[in-house]
Structure 1
């Protein structure tokens, strides 16, 4: 292929490069003009084959490892191509040796530039953005199928560090890498038109979009004007069902950011018992939509929402909104909880605080009643055990130890018993001829003469 002098006329350029900056290989030979100071060559070869070898007009050879010690040579060897930059190349016919692909063309990379569609000034968090970038070589559209192997497109959002926005000091968000491979939103592979999508899944605020085109030897960057990413134009209010009644999720749209009549909502509800429910809410002129949610009593509920709408600037958009969650912790009598992505007013905050205070009060009362009932049960158990111990002690004293129940009564009974036994003994002795005086101090136990 022939190189192009920077001083060559347009007619010469068209003559030498009849199909832009690329020509069919003629027996793997090409010529470099004597006025070329720097040339970048791109050779496509069979995937996995060794790097090509360049042969100078004087017959000397250039290999990829030569680039390590030669300041005039840069060589990037990939699996399916070689990207080579020559400075002050030897004029004359060159030759390339390698497993070059059939119908492959040698490309001379000139002034590579990048054109990118401008992003809209008003964006929403969770919005899906479609972006298209075009790669030009010396201002001409590149139409080489293998060129997509060489280029990557990276999309970044850089914080402007404006202290008036919540993303102050947030740094850089890497949101997407595009490939010219015909997948996803990319329409055709290898046409040097990069079309892709990405989601604005980061903090709201002011950001500066930066789209970078990168090749092993060439880098280009497009920096666009700052854009503002806002919270979604929708807030939530949850009305919890009384007893077994259904819950109700109220969506409120912001008419200052979105056209209510254009809004379509759809999504899924995840219940505490792992059930899922798909829902869809049609368009309406009203700025309020209501969604019924079955009451499965206690547990965690999650709601995923997709929005299809038109903003106040007339631009249609699609957004995946942040997931909304709420938890039912006890049977509900009458409780209203207000939750919003962005509170609408001070009254909404007060209503939410009152609902939370009422819930805390109910829980405190239940805990107090439970503690009082537990104390009464403990007292009854202790009293019953004391009664059982007392009755057991009485039975043991009376029946096993043969002792009277009252100690005083025990002494009187014992004395009377002893006195009765003594009198009975004296009577028996009298019958046997023994006698005793009335004093009771001398007892005659002698036997009679008979």
Structure 2
């Protein structure tokens, strides 16, 4: 029974090893696409693509598959896909000299389709990879619309087919002018990596990194100028970079045998280039080997051995903040070594180097207290989290087994931004609202499991939370102006599942959303360019100011077009003379226009200033005249009051108001001004004043004074000043006021009624008569005085009514506002 259990456990372990071995036995299948468009003449003038391509070919593992294409307008298969061997390498490497820069366009889509070779399904025995090198963008036509359509076709149709067939694409942009967004998207959508070579000199190291991602080579560490080869190594390949082409690179075996390009051996393959030496030694002698060459940290030695290091848990692309667990083991013949006696001898160091230059290192074989760690399953692990920051990272495992040494390195790219965010606008009830459109980046997150929440801050620091709404092609984040107008900040929190099926949560932004009013933006000071200095030459004609007189035309007239005089043929001139004349003419025209503008501006300033001056003067004069009228009326009331204070004449003393004789007083409402109307009275009844029979009654117009009533006290009288006629001119204002006062005495109106009449007069606009009206008024006044003398009439005893004395006169027209009581 015990034997049966042991056999069952053995078969289970072998099954697990078999599954692991099957995955490990998948061989590399690399297909390289090299851009040969005309722009490469600028970005790669020395054609360094050729040595880089040769190195990529020579680094290919034996029994793997390799092929290479060049593409421009057309696609050429330089090296057909075939199994790799030393003999094949010698034949294929010469074909790479055909790489040039003669292409007219950049037909990336056709190149990808050619490299796929019609394969649509994956193959477990081969790890298919495409290395795409380009310095430009999709360019198949001179029409930008055609190029945009082709770009969309590649991303939406070609790339999904390649991914379905099991291809991973590692894209390399040669120069910053390439379409990096497109090349990065091509890589991420297939699980590959993107690299930027700013110049052709960086291309060599990037191709080495790309080769390592495909071939996953085993290395032995170089310590100083030596490295150790153990008896399990079947062959090793040393890549030695040259810093100068003068010194010849040499290898010295443990027996002291010197190997070089000029002194080789049957078991040594030597490929030399201006920049590097690639030396492969088959069945090497175990022991310490030395390198005689310039020391370079990029030098390395890869080995083919049955004892290898396996690293897992470090994908090509991860998100910042993702929790990762790196595992490593030592495998022999494809099986994990679990022998504790063997593992106790191991000294295993794990190292992480960030793109920022930071280094983190720890011992996987030692515990926190320094005790040896011997896992039962032979798998060592390290958890990563805090050190997973944005950028490129290199993870290295160094194994020192006392009798052998191994080194394994993997590169990983950490991404912080998983959303492509654009600001867009929409109309809502006539108001333009801003919003952010967030699109998950394909290849980084699971688009079916993404949650987006935004924190919006207004210009005053007030915050609000807005949840993103799913829409076609992404998520919409509304940014309404809930606070003050100005610039808003949006911080986005993204959570969900990454493309590696790991939960993640990260912050992205902030993004600016501007709600600044247009007028505020326009009022901001703008740095005006300094005016061009005139040429320092004196031109007498430039001092003449052209005439601004323009012939006035009727509104509907259109001036005829000026006749064009024939232009005389230019006289021959010496070289350079024409430029001088043209420059002087331009200077004269520029100067004349400046003078015209100056005269026009000064003229407008004088006209506007003069108009303002005269307007202010007229307004001030009108105010002064109104003040004088009020003052004169006040003086008239005061004089009249003084005259009444003296003993009155007998006829005037007997003057009474008989309410029964027809005099009506309409007091009206308390808030209205008092109105007095005189009706027909019986002659001689209740009064000493003889009134002639009245004329037929004329229709009366009721006047209502809307001004606030003001009652004068008994000591507030109105006087007439003797200088009043001088102010009004031509005695017009004084004569009119005298007639009012005479009628007031005849009708024995009260002081309150007089004040009301004067108030009404003040409401009337002041009229300044001209010279002709003044002379006419004087003549009429003199005639009236002569007539009064001949008739022997006097204002004090004139028994005629007011209407008879002054035809067209109405008392209601002289209800004046009283001056404000001081």
TM-score range, shorter chain: 0.3 to 0.5
Larger radius of gyration: 2
Structure-2-length-normalised TM-score: 0.20
Structure-1-length-normalised TM-score: 0.33
* Structure that is richer in strand per residue: 1
* Structure that is richer in helix per residue: 2
